[in-house]
């Protein structure tokens, strides 16, 4: 019997690879002869690098880049097993967790470090890049990222602005791409984006996400004006009309910047991940797929990794079970999408701090997976 184990990470607790390993141990406690195929998943956000590196037997690379406030940050990206594809999480260089709460101010932050990570991947010989955008501290429209790739942002005197932040977008009067890294012409860039917010307006980058990054109402207005101005320059100087593209507002407008400067498309993160890890190919011939994530609730249905595993299972006619750190009351609607069962690993009341202890979570995952498998085996007719 072949079982495919394809979970997302239990964020703040265990990586997707660690979750898969714990589930495998539980399955084999029920029957050591079961063949397990572990395929760690992600949805393009946190954990994407780990999941894809582990799923493809790749490797990690570290680079010192500029953080969102210009400070040195050691950021990690992955090179997949094909040695041609790099996977980058923009949050590793430009993420909100890199800034203490009291210093958060998206008028002062830049995506320059994200551009440096792209450059580091190019230096490593990669010409296919997967970029996960989410968790940003920035609202600079991707201007900083572009500068790290050689684009020059000029002020009204024709002078280069060295680091464009969200609050300085209004100072840019011209965009010069003459020194843009020519290796970008050789690249295929896939951008994992799981929101459809446009760049501007009440659902745009400044209005929706600015306050989450520490912006005051006055700063939100300034950021909105700066992004609108920057969008006009992208259209005037580069012929790129990106403001209304769904997802352009992701990561503080980095979606718009990637569209304009990297000639790419924004795609649902799970679609990219499923293609890279070849889940459908690896699941062929399996009798069951077990997926999961830290919290299973109604939001799981909207582009999360378990839904990707379910889609593959339905394509191949394989039942899919999901295991969660917790399963919310509203998660029952997921059965209507096709999940054969939803299981929480919690077996007794405990605090959140206890539940997310890695050692405790591993043991609970093993126990839950073992009991699921014992039930599954008991349901199989004798001799089948």
* CATH number of the CATH domain containing 334: 3.40.50.10350
User: Is residue 250 in a domain?
Assistant: yes
Are 130 and 11 members of one domain?
no
DSSP string of 40-107, one letter each residue: ----SSTTHHHHHHHHTT-EEEEEEEE-TTS-EEEEEEEE-TTSSEEEEETHHHHBGGGS-GGG--TT
pLDDT tens digits, one per residue of 286-306:
999 999 999 999 889 888 899
366 and 343 both lie in a single domain: yes
CATH at residue 246: 3.90.1510.10
Judge whether 191 and 265 are in contact, CB under 8 Å.
Answer: yes
User: What are the pLDDT digits (tens) for 107-155?
Assistant: 999 999 999 999 999 999 999 999 999 889 999 999 999 999 999 999 9
DSSP H or E run through 131: strand 128-132
CB contact at 8 A, 184 and 257: no
Which of 212, 241, 269 is a domain's end point? 269
- Which domain covers residue 354, as residue numbers? 2-40+287-379
CA distance 317 to 177: 50
246 and 369, same structural domain?
A: no
**For 327, phi and psi rounded to 5 degrees?**
-125, 115
Residue 384 has what pLDDT? 54
Residues 108 and 69 in one domain: yes
**What's the pLDDT at 200?**
97
For position 204, what pLDDT does the model report? 96
Q: What pLDDT score was predicted for residue 377?
A: 94
Question: Tokens 């430009």, residue?
Answer: 94
Residue 308 in any domain: the answer is yes
Asked if 300 and 350 sit in the same domain, the reply is yes
CA dist 273 to 39, 86, 129, 132, 161, Å? 11, 13, 12, 10, 36
Which of 234, 269, 304 finishes a domain? Answer: 269
Instruction: Judge whether 370 lies within some domain.
Output: yes
Q: Is residue 280 part of a domain?
A: no
The token duo for 13 is 């607790």
Alpha helices in 263-351 (DSSP H): 269-277, 279-283, 305-316, 334-337
- Measured in degrees and rounded to the nearest 5, phi and psi for residue 168 equal -110, 5
pLDDT in tens, the chain (384 residues): 999 999 999 988 999 999 999 999 999 999 999 999 999 998 887 888 988 898 889 999 999 999 999 999 999 999 999 999 999 999 999 999 999 999 999 999 999 999 999 999 999 999 999 999 988 999 999 999 999 999 999 999 999 999 999 999 999 999 999 999 999 999 999 999 878 899 999 999 999 999 999 999 999 999 999 999 999 999 999 999 999 999 999 999 999 999 999 989 899 889 999 998 999 999 999 999 999 999 999 889 888 899 999 999 999 999 999 999 999 999 999 999 999 999 999 988 888 888 889 999 999 999 999 999 999 999 887 655
- Same domain flag for 259 and 311: no
Tokens, residue 76:
């990690």
| pLDDT at position 383 | 54
Residue of 188, 124, 112 lying closest to 150 (CA atoms): 112
SS3 for 238? helix
Domain contains 274? no
Same domain, 73 and 191: yes
Is the same domain home to 348 and 209? no
- Our count of domains for the chain comes to 2
pLDDT reported for residue 354: 85
Asked whether residue 275 is assigned to any structural domain, the reply reads no
Do the domain assignments include residue 291? yes
234: nearest Cα among 141, 113, 127? 141
Instruction: Specify whether 75 is located in the same domain as 130.
Output: yes
Residues 126 and 259 in one domain: yes
Domain stops at, among 235, 269, 303: 269
Q: Output phi, psi for 127, to 5 deg.
A: -125, 10
Shared domain check, 56 and 30: no
Does residue 61 sit in the same domain as residue 139?
yes
In what helix (H) or strand (E) does residue 113 lie, and over which residues does it extend? helix 112-123
Query: Does 384 fall in a domain?
Result: no
Rounded Cα distance between 138 and 222, Å, is 14
Question: pTM of this prediction?
Answer: 0.85
């Amino acid at each position: 019997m072949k079982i495919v184990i394809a979970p997302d990470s239990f964020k703040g607790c265990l990586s997707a690879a660690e979750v898969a390993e714990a589930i495998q141990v539980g399955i084999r406690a029920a029957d050591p002869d079961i063949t397990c195929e572990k395929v760690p998943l992600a949805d393009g956000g946190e954990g994407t690098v780990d999941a894809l590196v582990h799923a493809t037997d790749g490797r990690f690379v570290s680079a010192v880049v500029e953080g969102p406030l210009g400070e040195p940050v050691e950021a990690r990206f992955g090179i997949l097993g094909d040695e041609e594809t790099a996977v980058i999480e923009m949050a590793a260089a430009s993420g909100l967790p890199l800034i203490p709460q009291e210093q958060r101010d998206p008028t002062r932050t830049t995506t320059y470090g994200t551009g440096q990570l792209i450059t580091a991947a190019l230096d490593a010989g990669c010409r296919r890049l997967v970029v996960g955008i989410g968790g940003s501290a920035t609202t600079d429209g991707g201007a900083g990222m572009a500068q790290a790739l050689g684009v020059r942002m000029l002020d009204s005197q024709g002078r280069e602005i060295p680091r464009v932040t969200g609050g300085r977008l209004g100072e840019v009067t011209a965009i010069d791409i003459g020194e843009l890294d020519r290796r970008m012409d050789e690249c295929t860039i896939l951008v994992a984006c799981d929101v459809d917010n446009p760049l501007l307006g009440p659902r745009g980058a400044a209005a929706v996400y600015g306050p989450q990054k520490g912006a005051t109402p006055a700063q939100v207005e300034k950021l909105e004006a700066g992004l609108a101005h920057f969008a006009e320059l992208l259209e005037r100087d580069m012929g790129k009309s990106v403001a209304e593209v769904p997802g352009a507002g992701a990561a503080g407008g980095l979606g718009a910047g990637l569209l304009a400067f990297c000639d790419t498309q924004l795609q649902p993160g799970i679609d990219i991940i499923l293609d890279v890890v070849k889940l459908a190919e690896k699941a062929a011939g399996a009798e069951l797929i077990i997926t999961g994530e830290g919290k299973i609730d109604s939001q799981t249905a909207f582009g999360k990794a378990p839904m990707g595993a379910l889609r593959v299972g339905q394509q191949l006619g394989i039942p899919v079970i999901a295991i969660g750190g917790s399963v919310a009351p509203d998660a029952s609607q997921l059965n209507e999408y096709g999940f054969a069962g939803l299981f929480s690993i919690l077996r007794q009341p405990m605090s959140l701090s206890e539940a997310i202890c890695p050692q405790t979570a591993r043991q609970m995952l093993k126990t839950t997976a073992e009991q699921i498998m014992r039930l599954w085996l008991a349901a199989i007719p004798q001799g089948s």
